[in-house]
Structure 1
Amino acid sequence: MRYTQLNDWLRWMETQHPRNIDLGLERIALVAKQLDIALDMPVVTVAGTNGKGSCVALLSAILGAQGYRVGAYTSPHLHQYHERIAIGGNYVDDASLCRAFAAVDDARGETSLTYFEFGTLAALLIFKQDAVDVAVLEVGLGGRLDAVNIIDADVAIVSSIAIDHEAWLGNDREVIGREKAGIFRPNRPAIIGDLNPPKSLLDYAVQIGAVPVCREKQFQFSEAELGWQWRGQAISGERLSYENLPYPAVLIDNAATVLQAVQYINLPVSESAIRQGLTSVSVAGRCQHIQYRGIEVVLDVAHNPASVYALRDHLSAVPAVGVTDCVFAVMADKAVAEIISIVKPCFGHWSLPPLLGNERAAQPDAVQALLLAQGISNTSLAVSFPESLNKAMSRLSAGDRLVVFGSFFTVAAAMTEIAD
């Protein structure tokens, strides 16, 4: 074994490929063949611009409530690498990760792998060796050329299609939809949660002989004050409905999509397990409310226009008693000006911290200039994230609220500071 400590593996993996993102399946498929990775349990893959993590979390909660041991693979992590690979709701330990990384390293020979490809192969290997009952895999970027797509899933979910990662996926929904559709397989269900899916997504499903299962056609939902209602179909085609469901800690759009996917996994799942999963699910960093120093803090990884609209709607639905300020840091390749325009009425003051050591991060003074261009002058800079967060907190009192958003890195930095 090259290393015995997890952090040593992670640092080494970051240096093993010339590009952090290198879409394509040839290299990872070659190593997967050497590892003899073939999952013999039901597999669900989840792609989409937003909502992937929520879908994985809710699927895991529902299937876990039924008693199945779920292997869940997600990315990126917020606080520690272990968050990416869980079995039965528990993160795998350091020793298991080190053994899996060593096996991948031995099998790859001279083949170069990215950090994400190493992690994907390790997760698949762990799920195979542990013989989980069902594997739920979040697609990292796109779909067609993402490392997770080496697996032929029994059920494929596309939660939503919006503009993001234009440098890799294209800058319109039709092009992006075709990339996401790459996870579909012939004669297998393609669960589509987007209310207005791109034509390219549907066309590809039909072209390869997948079975499109679409929101508002095969399944739908409605909301009421005391609960929500879901209507969909069983794998047999029989119509199903659930009444007065508890509201989960994820968007109802994603919950409705998950409930339809559950019907196609070909594992018995009771209505009581569905209700228990809806009640118990939680997703760190997605409209997550915590109390910190007596102030309500909302953590949200929203980093593209679609997810920022969802954050705005959430803040409107549960308004603060007092003022609402924000801590905002974002990657430079995002639609920063558009993000600002969506939520600029929400915040009284914008704290703009640096994300030190992150080369992709937008510079705080550049973000400040974009805010000023939209008439927002109530901003402040700081030399570090802790300083920015502390100054933001010092402006607030009981009944006020602070929203930390803009990136996984932003929320992770806040979580680290709060934990410390």
Structure 2
Amino acid sequence: MIVGSDTVLDRLMALHPKVIDLVLDRVHRLLAALGHPETRLPPVIHIAGTNGKGSTLAMIRAGLEGTGATCHAYTSPHLARFHERIRLAGTLIGEAALTDLLEECEAANDGAPITYFEITTCAALLAFARTQADWTLLEVGLGGRLDATNVVVPRLTVITPVSMDHEAYLGDTLAKIAAEKAGILKPGVPCIVGPQADEALEVIEYRAARLGVPLQVHGQHWHVTEENGGLVFQDETGLMDLPMPRLIGRHQVQNAGMAVAALRALGRAEGAAAAMRDAHWPARMQRLKCGPLVDAAGAAELWLDGGHNPAAGAALAEALTRLPDRPLHLVCGMLNTKDAAGYMAPLAPRAVHLHAVSIPGEANTLTPAQTRAAADRAGIPSSEAASVAEAVAAITAREPGARILICGSLYLAGRILRDHA
């Protein structure tokens, strides 16, 4: 019988009783058994932060590739298939290669306790070490200091905006969370710092000073603005006039600024226009244009976004102001680990109605009734639906020209992309 990657991934899930257990001992043990692939990577750009990591990574990758370079990339979570997490020299890893890689790591681990994210991160690092490329882009999974990716000595680090999220694991104040994110800083390795609240920036600057880390901080060392339909980036070396980023929203202007600052620091500023023009990042204000749901929606617009915390809700609300007016209906499913009402509150002034759904296949999903209760607290009229398809049908029956936004979770977004788009 041929074993596929899904079968191996299911086995790996059973190696540790906890999904999240933030220590690095198990990762170091397995990497040693694999011959320390983390020491043989192409130059690494390591990216931490609460929001914008994936979009910033996508723009840096597009910029580097625009200069003719090849890039490995490791991101999480995946949306439709696990293969999305591992990109080898620009191409998603194939099924046979992924299965072989996972089985090799499983054998090297020899049944010892290790989390799913830890062993799959080791698999990605092993693949990167064996495949020629010019750069390696690593997105932190959770936090930074004890994240499984934090086993490298990078060429550059990036800290995107820090906000409240994952408080049960990272701490209950912005300062504590920022300290975890700043754990990716390494002695003497430059860091690009995105827009931060004062409380977070103070922590990042303190750790940087202790480690001798040269910082390039938004608002101090570099600035980015939207002017006359274009993007203007300025730092101590000069001014750059660029096209607006392909990704929608003011927060993407900030992410673009971090990407350009990173390209400048890497000596690859000539890729900045490609970073704006060519970056693609699914489920971030993504217009769905084909598939069964789009067919069922008829004249209605169908959009998808995977943001899931209050800062993401605020960014999403701003992005919606950039679109022509249409009645906005939300189809929302969220995890019970998130501040659902805090996420919804910025969307309340624009939303006509919210249809609450559960996330299929997710044990930690909020029930539709719980999501409705959060919508009530946020001030959004709501109702329940048995599925996204049922919600879309109900909305279009009442308001054929609606703008429908499916939102609240990357896991829900992944389900939509896998099953309906």
TM-score, L = length of structure 1: 0.92
| Distance change in 2, residues 1:48/1:108 (3 Å) | same
Equivalent residue for 2:12? 13
Q: Which moved more, 1:347-356 or 1:401-410?
A: 347-356
Whether the aligned pair in 1 keeps the contact of 2:334 and 2:340 (CA below 8 Å) is yes
Equivalent residue for 1:31? 30
Q: Is 1:396–2:395 an aligned residue pair?
A: no
Q: Quick one: which of 342, 363, 366 aligns to 2:367?
A: 363
Q: Which moved more, 1:99-108 or 1:385-394?
A: 385-394
Instruction: Give 1:285-296 correspondences, 5 Å limit.
Output: 285-291=283-289, 292-293=294-295, 294-296=299-301
| Counterparts of 2:156 and 2:91, CA distance in 1 | 23
Displacement of 1:40 in angstroms is: 4.0
Equivalent residue for 1:84? 85
Q: Which amino acid aligns with 1:330?
A: M
| Counterparts of 1:142 and 1:395, CA distance in 2 | 43
Identity %: 29
Q: Which amino acid aligns with 1:33?
A: A
Equivalent residue for 1:352? 356
| Distance change in 2, residues 1:167/1:3 (3 Å) | farther
Question: What are structure 2's unaligned runs of at least 5 residues?
Answer: none
Q: Quick one: which of 401, 410, 413 aligns to 1:411?
A: 413
Question: After superposition, what is the alpha-carbon deviation per residue over 1:308-355, rounded to whole angstroms, capped at 9, x for unaligned?
Answer: 1000000112133x3110101111121112222221122112111122
Q: Which moved more, 1:160-169 or 1:118-127?
A: 118-127
Equivalent residue for 2:156? 155
Q: Which moved more, 1:128-137 or 1:95-104?
A: 95-104
CA RMSD of aligned residues (A): 1.8
Whether the aligned pair in 1 keeps the contact of 2:50 and 2:162 (CA below 8 Å) is yes
Q: Quick one: which of 194, 197, 218 aligns to 2:221?
A: 218
Whether the aligned pair in 2 keeps the contact of 1:327 and 1:388 (CA below 8 Å) is yes
Equivalent residue for 1:236? none
Whether the aligned pair in 2 keeps the contact of 1:186 and 1:210 (CA below 8 Å) is yes
Whether the aligned pair in 1 keeps the contact of 2:140 and 2:147 (CA below 8 Å) is yes
SS of the equivalent of 1:402 reads: strand
Displacement of 1:212 in angstroms is: 1.6
Whether the aligned pair in 2 keeps the contact of 1:323 and 1:348 (CA below 8 Å) is yes
| Counterparts of 1:6 and 1:418, CA distance in 2 | 22
SS of the equivalent of 1:317 reads: coil
SS of the equivalent of 1:297 reads: strand
Whether the aligned pair in 1 keeps the contact of 2:331 and 2:388 (CA below 8 Å) is no
Q: Which amino acid aligns with 2:413?
A: V
Equivalent residue for 1:164? 165
Q: Which amino acid aligns with 2:353?
A: H
| Distance change in 2, residues 1:372/1:132 (3 Å) | same
Equivalent residue for 1:341? 345
SS of the equivalent of 2:149 reads: helix
Q: Which amino acid aligns with 1:247?
A: P
| Counterparts of 2:92 and 2:399, CA distance in 1 | 36
SS of the equivalent of 2:363 reads: coil
| Counterparts of 1:393 and 1:86, CA distance in 2 | 38
Question: After superposition, what is the alpha-carbon deviation per residue over 1:361-409, rounded to whole angstroms, capped at 9, x for unaligned?
Answer: 1111122123334554x422123343334333443323x2001110011
TM-score, L = length of structure 2: 0.92
Instruction: Report the number of matched residues.
Output: 407
